[in-house]
Amino acid sequence: MATAVEEAQLNQLEIQVDNGGGGAWEYLCLVRKLKARRSDKVLKHGLFILNNPRARSKLGEEEFTLYEQVAFAAMDCRRNDIAKDCIGALFKKFPGSIRVGRLEGMLYEAKGAWSEAEKVYTRLLADSPLDQVILKRKVAMAKAQGNSAAAAEYLNKYLETFMADHDAWRELAELYISIQMYKQAAFCYEELILCQPACPLYHLAYADVLYTMGGLENLQAAKKYYSSTINLTGGKNTRALYGICLCSVAINQLTKGRNKDEKDISDLQSLAAEGLLRDYKERAPKKLSLVTTTLRNIKMVS
């Protein structure tokens, strides 16, 4: 992710180029370095260089890096005709290239030609079965077609090899939640917590899934992970505070009459309620009375 200084530098260079001050190639290089998404500008200034033989000749081998960059930008801007020309130039220079082949598959995706894209990716995987980019493109393609179950299946296969990919685990968890496979989603968050135990977002997401699943054991575990979220954020996570309150109410309802040691309002529950009231008093005082009434109705405050 670009720093504030790098972002300012990019903006300044963009203004310079837009106003005819030169530096188009430097701008395009910086966009690429920072992985910024400025497709319309890349398309405009990239085409200016590619269509200018003198400017293009100065790039040397970097000319083909620019062809690739413009191809991505063109697909993003729905200029598939330009993307096709760029990919054609790359294929002419690098026949049989897997990297260029990926671009061809993505162009088919951009056109909505899913079966053609699938054929391209299948052919490429036959030569390079562990290509991470292509494997992820198959996931993206399934998602684009609204087939979350297939996307989850592709991600599962991907994670059999690339188990350390945290982003893939998180995406798989979200896919499972979207198709209401909460037990599988919980497993994904368990893996993420094992890998990054100090990340409060994973604790919070895991608690949400456990709360959704319901049942005494899951609710008690959810309460613990909401608590750990609060500890990791210094008591500043409103969602986790609400989670403790809701878990406490649900647990009390399930254990009423069976667990004599269970109090209606434990110290943790009281602290969570007090934390919510303090939070709303500081940040949203107009909503304080509504929150107070809600907590009183569920017997979290007196």
**Residue range 1-126 in CATH 1.10.3470:** no
Listed residue (92, 50, 44) closest to 67, CA to CA: 50
Q: Is pTM, for the whole model, over 0.75?
A: yes
Gap between the Cα atoms of 72 and 89, Å rounded: 14
Position 299 scores a pLDDT of 61
Position 263 scores a pLDDT of 52
> Residue 210's CB: how many other CB atoms inside 10 A?
26
Gap between the Cα atoms of 292 and 221, Å rounded: 26
The three-state DSSP-derived secondary structure of 239-271 is HHHHHHHHHHHHHHHHHCCCCCCCCCCCHHHHH
Among all chains, which residue has been given the structure tokens 């991600």?
Answer: 155
Is residue 283 within a helix (H) or strand (E), and if so which, with residue range?
helix 267-283
**Residue range 130-196 in CATH 1.25.40.10:** yes
Which amino acid belongs to residue 109? E
Domains 1-126 and 130-196 share a fold: yes
Tokens standing for 239? 């969602």
- Residue 148 CB-half CA count within 13 A: 11
Position 102 scores a pLDDT of 97
Position 100 scores a pLDDT of 97
CA 33-38-39 angle, to 5 degrees, is 110
Gap between the Cα atoms of 154 and 171, Å rounded: 12
Q: Where are the domains of the chain?
A: 1-126, 130-196, 215-302
Gap between the Cα atoms of 134 and 124, Å rounded: 8
Listed residue (225, 231, 197, 229) closest to 211, CA to CA: 225
Position 269 scores a pLDDT of 74
pLDDT tens digits, the chain, 302 residues: what are they? 778 899 999 999 999 999 998 899 999 999 999 999 999 999 999 999 999 999 999 999 999 999 999 999 999 999 999 999 999 999 999 999 999 999 999 999 999 999 999 999 999 999 999 999 999 999 999 999 999 999 999 999 999 999 999 999 999 999 999 999 999 999 999 999 999 999 999 999 999 999 999 999 999 999 999 999 999 998 888 899 889 888 988 998 888 755 544 554 466 777 777 777 777 777 777 777 777 777 776 665 54
